[in-house]
Chain A
Amino acid sequence: EDKVVQSPLSLVVHEGDTVTLNCSYEVTNFRSLLWYKQEKKAPTFLFMLTSSGIEKKSGRLSSILDKKELFSILNITATQTGDSAVYLCAVVAGTASKLTFGTGTRLQVTL
C-alpha cells in the first residue's frame, strides 16, 4: 500500500523565519509528487515534481525532490502570517491517477 509521511506534524515560527517541511514516501512506480496548501477549505496547488534534483520555485516557496532517497522538501523563506496553513504532500504512483496524501504539516506563523 502506498504511504506518504510528512514531518513535522505541526510547527510554530515567527514571521521572517525560514521553514523546511518534509515529505517521504513509499510507493510502487512513482510518477509525481505534489504540494498543496490548505487554509480554510480547498487545497490549492503549489508544485508538482517529477524529476530528481530540479528545484521548483515560486516567490518565497521552493521545493525539491530526491527520487533516490524517496523524499521531498518544501522551503518557505521570510515567512509571513499569510503562510499559516496546512501543507499537504501527495504522490501519484502506478497506473492509478489518484493522489495519496500525507497527513499534512500545520504551520503557524506568529508576529
Chain B
Amino acid sequence: DSGVTQTPKHLITATGQRVTLRCSPRSGDLSVYWYQQSLDQGLQFLIQYYNGEERAKGNILERFSAQQFPDLHSELNLSSLELGDSALYFCASSVLVGGETQYFGPGTRLLVL
C-alpha cells in the first residue's frame, strides 16, 4: 500500500457523459500527478499539481481538467467522454516538485460504453 488513495475503483459510463476521479496523496506529499494507462499507449503523463497550483501539463485533452484543493486532494474531471477514453487512470504523489520518487495509487478503471 503506497498511501495514495483513489476513488472510485471502477467506473462505467456512457459516451458524452462527465465523470470525476478523486485522489488523496500520501500524508505530507505536496505534488500530485495524473497518468492514463491504455493498452495501446502505455502510461502517459497528463498533468501535475504542486501545492494547489498547476505545475506541468502533458498530453491532456481539452475535455479533461484537474484541480488540487487546499487539503491537497486532487480531482480529475473528464467530460464529453468517448470510447477511446476507456483506460486506467492513476494518481501519483511525491513530497516535492520533481526528480524524486512518485508513489502510485491503485487507479480508477474507466469504461466508456
Contacts and interface: CB of A to CB of B under 8 A. Distances in A.
A34 B99 CA distance: 10
Q: Give the secondary structure class of B's interface.
A: strand
B26 to A, nearest CB: 12
Nearest to B58: A98
B31 A97 contact: yes
B90 A42 contact: yes
Contacts of B58: 98
Q: Give the secondary structure class of A's interface.
A: strand
A95 B50 CA distance: 14
A97 B103 contact: no
A48 B105 contact: no
Contacts of A101: 42-44
Nearest to A43: B104
Contact of B99 (A31, A88, A102): A31
A97 B56 contact: yes
Contact of B43 (A41, A48, A88): A88
